[in-house]
Amino acid sequence: MTPTNFLQSGKQTGFWRLSAAKPQLGAAGARCALPQPPDRFAPATRRQFLAGAGALCLTSPGATAAVAAPVRAAKYRAAVIGHTGRGNYGHGLDVVWLDVPNVQVVAVADADPKGLADAVKRLGNPKGYPDYRRMLDEVKPDLVTVAPRWLDQHCDMVIAAAERGVRGIYMEKPMCRTLAEADRMVAACEKYKVKFAIAFQTRYSQKLPVVQELIRSGRLGQLVEFRARGKEDQRGGGEDLWVLGPHMFNLICHFGGRPQWCFATVQQDGRPIRPEDVRPGNEGIGPLAGDKVHATYGLAGGAVASFDSTRNAGSRPTRFGLQIFGSQGVLQSFDTGHLPEMYFLPEPCWSAHRTAKAWVPVSSAGVGRPEPLENRGLDGGNLLAVKDLIEAVENDRLPIASVYEARTATETVVAVFESQRLGGPVRFPLANRQNPLAMLTEVSRQRTVGRGQ
């Protein structure tokens, strides 16, 4: 589907006519001497939730959506950073701007010549650059997309954009390779007053207020456990944790509160990982190991959470998603995107087979109600995210999925490998801001050198 067709289809559904209200802000607690944001992960009241975290409203389904034109008066000038062969342009993070009124894509950067030519054509013939720093210097855009899936360049790209005065950044997940890099990105955004949003598309879903109402009203009961799984394909284990885990951790923290501790095991071939198992990870992740991961977390809201992934143990349809267990029922959410598949079981014993209760679909209109919106998947989530980013710029507030939430999700991943390295539980914020697996291999190397002497 082309961007124009995507937007035109919203005329029938009211999809584009959305708005996000200003989030409620509070205190967050220190981390590595950097100023902290409001605790966006504190369990929210319904009023607080609807005031900010994912409150998105529909207007008339018949309202006319603005269609991108070759020439138009643009309030914001956007630039795209991609890298063909090293993460490309993520999950549609480049073309999302074509569907946003008052935004014009004025430039794109890609170090790969063919990839750059394709991107220029795809984005409506903006100026192309082989170097993103030169693009930022010459074009001076208001908004920037850091689109590559690979995360090894994310830190440098974000800092370069922040230093050059951009107002808003939308970036593909995962955030970066280490917590030290995350801290640098946070510091740059704070210093230059840049609004940063990460592509956690489900955080913008209109289904999330329905989940929050299940919690607020008591229909789900006391929250006792969150269970998340990755896709468990050939990436199962450590790579699944890095690539897809952040989506789940962001939702867990949103509903259950910030993690307080983590106790995890990382295995390879049925045994704990060893230094010789560590290898360069795909997609610029850095040192990586493990074909099986099990992690348990304690959350600020009082519940516990877990994440599991085993290589080549996936299913069709996928198990990738999150389950929320309450004292009065269970909520299931599968996959990610604009309108993830959701079901609610109003049964305290958590089993439909033992009682007459049945799983009930959850839509943006409520439990058991037909879905009035057309599911746009990740593209739909991207549209909601960049619209919220623009509103965050205009109203001087944090985006819904901010740089701080991106760092917390990264820290939740890193804690798994740090717990394995130390052989026990670790507390948040993590004292170690480096890659634990790099440290594991370095200690092994030093011991080998010592024995050789």
Q: Residue 20's domain spans which residues?
A: 3-45+60-202+380-402
On the question of a cis peptide bond just before residue 174, with omega within 30 degrees of 0, the verdict is: yes
Confirm whether 34 is domain-assigned.
yes
φ, ψ dihedrals at 323, nearest 5°: -115, 135
CB 384 within 8 A of CB 346: no
**What's residue 356's pLDDT?**
86
Return the pLDDT at 353: 87
Closest CA to 200 of 70, 355, 54: 54
E strands present in 199-351:
223-229, 259-268, 271-272, 279-280, 287-288, 292-299, 304-310, 321-326, 329-334, 341-345
Assess if residue 106 is contained within a domain: yes
* pTM for this entry: 0.85
Cβ-contact 51, 23 below 8 angstroms: yes
Looking at residue 448, its pLDDT comes to 54
Number of domains the chain is built from: 1
What is the predicted pLDDT for the residue at 280? 97
Whether 347 maps to a domain, the answer reads: no
For residue 365, is it within any domain? Answer: no
- In the numeric block, the tokens 């908004």 are attached to 143
pLDDT in tens, 124-144: 999 999 999 999 999 999 999
- The domain that holds 113 is classified in CATH as 3.40.50.720
pLDDT of residue 444: 58
Residue 313 lies in a domain: no
Q: What is the pLDDT of residue 445?
A: 60
**What's the DSSP call for residue 105?**
E
In a domain, 436, yes or no: no
Is residue 94 a part of any domain in this protein? yes
DSSP category for residue 31: B
Bridge partners (DSSP) of residue 192 are none
Within 287-405, strands assigned E span: 287-288, 292-299, 304-310, 321-326, 329-334, 341-345, 360-363, 366-367
What local confidence, expressed as pLDDT, does residue 21 receive? Answer: 34
Domain annotation covers residue 304: no
Instruction: Tell me the C-alpha distance between 222 and 170, whole Å.
Output: 35
- d(C-alpha 103, C-alpha 94), whole Å: 13
pLDDT at 441: 86
pLDDT confidence of residue 35: 40
Q: pLDDT by residue for the chain (453 residues), tens digit each?
A: 433 333 333 333 333 334 333 333 333 333 333 344 554 455 444 333 333 433 343 333 333 333 333 444 569 999 999 999 999 999 999 999 999 999 999 999 999 999 999 999 999 999 999 999 999 999 999 999 999 999 999 999 999 999 999 999 999 999 999 999 999 999 999 999 999 999 999 999 999 999 999 999 999 999 999 999 999 999 999 999 999 999 999 999 999 999 999 999 999 999 999 999 999 999 999 999 999 999 999 999 999 999 999 999 999 999 999 999 999 999 999 999 999 999 999 999 999 989 889 999 999 999 999 999 999 999 999 999 999 999 999 999 999 999 999 999 999 999 999 999 999 999 999 999 999 999 998 755 655 545 555
Please say whether the dihedral angle defined by the alpha carbons of residues 15, 317, 95 and 206, taken in this order, is positive or negative.
positive
pLDDT at site 62? 31
